Structure 1
Amino acid sequence: MNVADFYTFAWRHATRVPEPLLRAVFTAVADVTWLRRGKAVRRMESNYARVRPELDEAAVRRLSRSGMRSYMRYFREAFTLQGVTPDQLRARVRVEGYDEHVRPVIADGGAVSLALGHLGNWDLAGAYGSQNLAGVLTVAERLKPAELFDEFVRFRNALGIEVLPLGGGDVLGALVRGAKEGGRLIPLLSDRDLTSTGVEVDLAGHRARVAAGPALLALEAGVPVSAVGIWYERLHGARRRAAGTPWGIVIHFFPPLPEPDAARPRDEQVRLLTQGWVDQLSRTLVAHTQDWHMLQRVFVADLGPARQRASGGATG
């Protein structure tokens, strides 16, 4: 069974397995992966150490165990998300900042550019948003094999999330058109530069490269931009019973960033807006590090020589 077949099988059959058994299986997978301490786990620990410099090596190692459990929790939930009822979905999600910062824009027929990190369960957040807040339009990285990417798109479409493939034509233009139609949340996973043409920023005191998409969309479409932090929280009592699971998520909408001076060069405006949402998102990365599922290189000091030269030779 290849990867695409496995994902397809899991999405079709995981909902038939009792959740306590699924939790036990995915926790065991997380712990075995953590104990083996392969390349992905070591990268997670390196990233965690940069955003949490006060922790010693042993503390980072313990934190990465929680991180792998959080990461496997995301996959377990993803495989069963299509079987979650609307009432269970609402019980699993708690929202902060939406009424203050986003609802007025949506109610006025506008759209919002949202910068996300690989935090918590962004698919659960997207499903909740599409059913309870506003239409959700996003971009997804093309995965290999193509069949796997197609499965991910079908999965997210089934949750009510409209997905554009990264590299599939004029993606920015399609996002701008969607934003100008209004009534949409446009969340973009942006804490990693997939194009090698991203923006270099200060992330928790270290130079890092992130995606320019949220800022470019805001400037091109004339919509506000801000970060969204997502993290897990334990559920108790009536809410846990209604959710049908011991874990839920918090979706925290940060305030929209001030518009940069239009007289500045466009690349400077992009840099200022990008640094702004990175500063917002950093608060969640520090406070809920174990829910940052970043198993790839983000920081300039960890990039290859070619990428470092593209960043001006900066070091973390």
Structure 2
Amino acid sequence: MSQPPAAPPPAGEPAREPDAAPGTLDRLTDLGFAAGWSLVKAVPQWAADGAFRVAADTAFRRRGPAVRQLARNLHRVLGPRSTPELLAATVQAGMRSYARYWQETFRLPAMDRDAVAAQVDAATVGREHIERAQREGRGIVLTVPHAGNWDIAGLWVTHHFGRMTTVVERLRPESLYDKFVAYRESLGMEILPLTGGAPPSATLRERLTAGGIIALVGDRDLSANGIPVTFFGEPARFPAGPAMLAALTDSYLCPTDLRFTADGWAQHIHPPLELAGTRLAAQVRSGAQQIADVFERGIGAHPTDWHMLQPFWPGDFPAGHPAGVPIKNPPATASVPTAARR
């Protein structure tokens, strides 16, 4: 493989409807993912490690649009520390982390899930917040950034606490979407599509009101209703969903950091946030900024595991680009940090 594939929608990411009928590219994409799930899990661990590292390093050397955008994003994360040398090393390590996510995605169906859940449990901080919510019969919203391996985290939740509900993007082709739904359902997750069915918000509220667990991505907003926040010193927009659902259902809202370790995974489930204000709008704004603050600390401590290869801050979007409309590649005229051009 020459480079890691494009990212699948993490659990909780908003959906994009197909804009054309499936064609040759769709069929090749579907076949590629099917081959990944069939072949990668069959090769020895050392061989998979080597192949995906080569893929990541090849992508880093080619400096494609996604790598250049990752450099822009990590340049902000590193802040005053962002020398050309440190930024280049961080971007390369970030691509290796991203490739590791893909390797684990393809290998997880063949992994010992009891052993995986036990390893994650040993490196988890904040398990008591979920236990408290369950004792009280109260819903809990776990909101995560695009970091580490969210499927591994979901497996841990379902292994120890039962069903977890999340929302996923409807991919093209439909057969690929079906594969990802089946994959995540096999991990014990309840999957709700954002589009193409009943709106998920009512079901999410029902699950929380009944004391359930839902997980949603809480950093990149792809809607037109994002909440303005300050993130690494710049204006950004975070999704309203996690804070809004928690406020409407009186559920716990726990930002959760995810990261890789040398031989496994670690996660930090932060204490439930206190949503300031009496009106829903104020509570959602308060929750979104608090989530941004928690994510900023976690990503700042482990920047290589933040897999944000898309434009994130408004400064990287073309002039006049509509809010909530994603773009896959950075504009050609955007400045590129020195390390990304080396």
TM-score by length of 2: 0.82
Whether the 8 Å contact between 1:301 and 1:308 is mirrored in structure 2 is no
Output the CA distance in 2 between the equivalents of 1:197 and 1:133: 32
What SS does the aligned partner of 2:104 have? helix
Partner of 1:102: 130
Residue by residue over 1:17-67, the C-alpha shift from the partner in whole angstroms, topping out at 9 and shown as x without a partner, is 111101110000000000001000010010001111121122111100000
Q: CA deviation at 1:309?
A: 7.5
Mark the CA change 1:60 to 1:109 in structure 2 (over 3 Å): closer, same or farther: same
Output the CA distance in 2 between the equivalents of 1:17 and 1:211: 39
2:273 pairs, out of 246, 257, 267, with 257
What SS does the aligned partner of 1:196 have? coil
**Greater alpha carbon shift after TM alignment, 292-301 vs 127-136:** 127-136
Aligned-partner residue type, residue 16 of structure 1: A
Aligned-partner residue type, residue 225 of structure 1: L
Q: Does residue 301 of structure 1 match 2:293?
A: no
1:289 pairs, out of 293, 303, 319, with 303
Whether the 8 Å contact between 2:66 and 2:310 is mirrored in structure 1 is yes
Residue by residue over 1:56-105, the C-alpha shift from the partner in whole angstroms, topping out at 9 and shown as x without a partner, is 12211110000000000000001011112233213431211111x22111
Whether the 8 Å contact between 1:228 and 1:252 is mirrored in structure 2 is yes
2:61 pairs, out of 35, 52, 64, with 35
Q: Does residue 150 of structure 1 match 2:164?
A: no
Partner of 1:17: 43
Note the aligned Cα RMSD (angstroms).
1.6
Output the CA distance in 2 between the equivalents of 1:303 and 1:201: 17
Please, which runs of 5 or more residues in structure 2 have no aligned partner?
1-26, 325-342
Please, which runs of 5 or more residues in structure 1 have no aligned partner?
235-246, 311-316
Aligned-partner residue type, residue 143 of structure 2: A
Partner of 2:23: none
Output the CA distance in 1 between the equivalents of 2:48 and 2:285: 43
1:73 pairs, out of 89, 94, 100, with 100
1:111 pairs, out of 127, 131, 139, with 139
Whether the 8 Å contact between 1:51 and 1:204 is mirrored in structure 2 is yes
Mark the CA change 1:27 to 1:309 in structure 2 (over 3 Å): closer, same or farther: closer
Output the CA distance in 1 between the equivalents of 2:318 and 2:48: 38
Whether the 8 Å contact between 2:142 and 2:253 is mirrored in structure 1 is yes
Whether the 8 Å contact between 1:138 and 1:164 is mirrored in structure 2 is yes
Q: Does residue 47 of structure 1 match 2:61?
A: no
Q: CA deviation at 1:134?
A: 3.7
Output the CA distance in 1 between the equivalents of 2:253 and 2:236: 20
Whether the 8 Å contact between 2:147 and 2:305 is mirrored in structure 1 is yes
Q: CA deviation at 1:308?
A: 7.0
Partner of 1:214: 242
Output the CA distance in 1 between the equivalents of 2:102 and 2:226: 27
Output the CA distance in 2 between the equivalents of 1:44 and 1:144: 24
Whether the 8 Å contact between 2:117 and 2:155 is mirrored in structure 1 is no
1:3 pairs, out of 21, 25, 29, with 29
Aligned-partner residue type, residue 292 of structure 1: W
Aligned-partner residue type, residue 87 of structure 2: V
Q: Does residue 174 of structure 1 match 2:203?
A: yes
Residue by residue over 1:269-302, the C-alpha shift from the partner in whole angstroms, topping out at 9 and shown as x without a partner, is 2111110111111111100000000011111211
Q: Percent identity?
A: 33
Partner of 2:254: 226
Aligned-partner residue type, residue 50 of structure 1: R
Output the CA distance in 2 between the equivalents of 1:204 and 1:300: 13
Output the CA distance in 1 between the equivalents of 2:213 and 2:46: 34
Residue by residue over 1:163-182, the C-alpha shift from the partner in whole angstroms, topping out at 9 and shown as x without a partner, is 11123432211111111122
Output the CA distance in 1 between the equivalents of 2:315 and 2:131: 39
Whether the 8 Å contact between 1:106 and 1:134 is mirrored in structure 2 is no
Whether the 8 Å contact between 2:275 and 2:286 is mirrored in structure 1 is no
TM-score by length of 1: 0.89
Whether the 8 Å contact between 1:192 and 1:211 is mirrored in structure 2 is yes
Whether the 8 Å contact between 1:210 and 1:298 is mirrored in structure 2 is no
1:61 pairs, out of 77, 81, 88, with 88
Output the CA distance in 1 between the equivalents of 2:290 and 2:252: 12
What SS does the aligned partner of 1:227 have? strand
Output the CA distance in 2 between the equivalents of 1:170 and 1:146: 18
Output the CA distance in 2 between the equivalents of 1:9 and 1:179: 37
Output the CA distance in 2 between the equivalents of 1:202 and 1:134: 35
**Greater alpha carbon shift after TM alignment, 116-125 vs 13-22:** 13-22
